[in-house]
């Protein structure tokens, strides 16, 4: 009986193991890297000119940059009390003329309204009220014909050329702040735009509800585009350190464990290498690169997410990018625009034809030597070559599913033995 069960178990493992491996090979792996990914083929991508324009691809050189130590807070824009003026009247009467409207701009001395007194006379005595200072009419409380009493508030005028940006800073960060520090302010109303503020004063009382203190930054607003009440995030720089190699934060993709950048390997050919890097300290703009990137290398900073879905580069294109990077001097490389990925045109037709012939000769040479010398990936592995049977089995997951098969078979065997033992006990009774 036991021999039959053992033989059935062995047959089960042998038959189920290859089936499980086949299922593993045909299943959808989602984000898991394929065999070609592990070998580095998919680390190189090709981006044509049309795709560059579509994703608005931009690049910059990795270089030494300053990385700020930050205190981050949220806050809003407020008017400066000293720049707010209230317009009122000293006589009772009615508004016979009104020269302003809400949100209109006025200069110092401009007429606001004309007040006709209730005192008798033909015509009744009147007075013209003027603006005490220039600014924006933020509030208007009367209309033409409105009756007014003495000291009635007619309008409020605010000079918004300079504003307060009030950040709510948590108590445990207050010791790191002092007057004169700068802050980069990102307002919700202006995506992708940064405003600069200078710390000028602290609030007088910590809020018991949020345990924060208002900290006031002076914000210059010459275009009057920033409005009171706008909200945003404050990145307050407490001190600055230097990073030997750094890139914009937008250049980095990945998760907390693995981070990548796309390195430009061939400007003319549009070849980029997806390279893993180790990131160091960051601020709101730049990130330090500790390993994986050299100063002077060019990385993508805009359109990085879309680059993940670009087609893989061919072996010939990869080889061309390596030969160009290895053999060309810096002066021979195409001019690089730090703000936009574009192409430069030759000075004349003769230079253009010479440049094209040079590129054609490079590719013909690579095509003739590609068979004898397969290109290497960035991590030193050969792209094309033999893979041992053990490596193939490891990569396919055969041994993983074989282990699961053994475990399942063991459980099944225990169940069969338990059932046989119970049956034997019943027969003996």
pLDDT in tens, 212-263: 999 999 999 999 999 999 999 999 999 989 999 999 999 999 998 999 999 9
User: Going by CATH, does the domain composed of 81-158 fall within 3.20.20.70?
Assistant: no
What is the predicted pLDDT for the residue at 410?
A: 83
Q: Tokens 């993983």 identify what position?
A: 400
What is the predicted pLDDT for the residue at 380?
A: 39
Return the closest-CA partner of residue 219 out of 208, 209, 211, 230. 230
pLDDT digits (tens, 9 = 90+) for 337-378: 444 444 434 444 444 444 444 444 444 444 444 444 444 444
What is the predicted pLDDT for the residue at 416?
A: 86
- How far is the C-alpha of 287 from the C-alpha of 273, rounded, in Å? 19
Q: Which CATH superfamily is domain 46-79+162-312 in?
A: Efflux pump adaptor protein, beta barrel domain (2.40.30.170)
Average pLDDT, the chain: 80
Task: Read off the tokens for 180.
Answer: 């004169």
Compute how many other C-beta atoms are within 10 angstroms of the C-beta atom of residue 252.
19
Mean pLDDT calculated for residue range 278-282 = 94
What is the predicted pLDDT for the residue at 192?
A: 86
Mean pLDDT calculated for residue range 190-194 = 92
**274-290 burial, b if ≥16 CB within 10 A, otherwise e?**
bbebebeebbebbbbbe
Compute how many other C-beta atoms are within 10 angstroms of the C-beta atom of residue 370.
15
- How far is the C-alpha of 298 from the C-alpha of 247, rounded, in Å? 10
Going edge to edge, which strands form the sheet with 111-117? 126-130, 111-117, 93-98, 147-148
Residue 18 pLDDT > 70, yes or no? no
Compute how many other C-beta atoms are within 10 angstroms of the C-beta atom of residue 54.
12
- How far is the C-alpha of 74 from the C-alpha of 165, rounded, in Å? 10
Task: Report H helices in 295-348.
Answer: 304-307, 315-327
Higher pLDDT, 416 or 171: 171
What is the predicted pLDDT for the residue at 415?
A: 83
What is the predicted pLDDT for the residue at 162?
A: 97
Beta bridge partners of 60: 299
- Confirm if 76 and 230 have CB atoms less than 8 A apart: yes
- How far is the C-alpha of 226 from the C-alpha of 219, rounded, in Å? 9
- Confirm if 199 and 215 have CB atoms less than 8 A apart: yes
- Confirm if 248 and 283 have CB atoms less than 8 A apart: no
Higher pLDDT, 75 or 351: 75
Cis-peptide into 181, omega within 30 deg: no
pLDDT digits (tens, 9 = 90+) for 145-168: 999 998 899 999 999 999 999 999
């Amino acid at each position: 009986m036991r021999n039959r069960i053992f033989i059935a178990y062995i047959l089960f493992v042998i038959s189920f193991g290859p089936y499980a491996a086949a299922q593993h090979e045909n299943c959808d792996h989602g984000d898991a890297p394929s065999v070609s990914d592990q070998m580095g083929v998919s680390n190189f991508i090709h981006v044509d000119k049309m795709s560059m324009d579509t994703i608005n691809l931009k690049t910059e050189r990795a270089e030494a940059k300053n990385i700020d130590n930050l205190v981050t807070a949220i806050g809003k824009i407020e008017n400066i009390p000293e720049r707010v003026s209230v317009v009122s009247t000293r006589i009772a009467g009615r508004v016979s003329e009104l020269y302003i409207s809400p949100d209109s701009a006025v200069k110092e001395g401009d007429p606001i309204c004309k007040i006709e007194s209730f005192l008798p006379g033909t015509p009744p005595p009147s007075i013209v009220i003027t603006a005490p200072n220039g600014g924006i009419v933020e509030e208007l409380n009367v209309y033409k014909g409105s009756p007014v009493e003495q000291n009635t508030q007619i309008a409020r005028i605010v000079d918004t050329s300079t504003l307060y940006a009030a950040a709510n800073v948590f108590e445990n960060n207050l010791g790191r702040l002092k007057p004169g520090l700068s802050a980069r302010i990102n307002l919700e109303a202006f995506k992708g735009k940064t405003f600069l503020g200078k710390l000028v004063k602290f609030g007088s009382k910590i809020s018991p509800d949020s345990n924060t203190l208002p900290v006031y930054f002076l914000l210059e607003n010459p275009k009057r585009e920033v409005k009171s009440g706008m909200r945003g995030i404050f990145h307050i720089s407490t001190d600055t350190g230097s990073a030997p190699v750094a890139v914009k934060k937008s250049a980095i993709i990945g998760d907390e464990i693995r981070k990548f950048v796309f390195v430009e390997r061939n400007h003319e050919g549009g070849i980029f290498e997806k390279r893993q890097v180790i990131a160091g300290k960051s601020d709101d703009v730049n990130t330090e690169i500790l390993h994986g990137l050299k100063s002077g290398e060019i990385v993508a900073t805009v359109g990085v997410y879309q680059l993940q879905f670009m087609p893989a580069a061919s072996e010939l294109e990869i080889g061309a990018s390596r030969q160009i990077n290895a053999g060309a001097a810096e002066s021979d490389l195409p001019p690089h625009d730090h703000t936009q990925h574009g192409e430069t045109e030759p000075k004349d037709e003769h230079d253009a034809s010479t440049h094209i012939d040079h590129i054609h000769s490079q590719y013909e040479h690579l095509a003739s030597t590609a068979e004898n010398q397969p290109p290497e990936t960035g991590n030193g592995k050969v792209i094309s070559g033999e893979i041992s049977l053990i490596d193939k089995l490891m990569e396919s997951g055969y041994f993983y599913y074989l282990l699961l098969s053994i475990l399942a078979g063991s459980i099944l065997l225990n169940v069969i033995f338990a059932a046989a033992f119970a049956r034997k006990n019943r027969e003996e009774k």
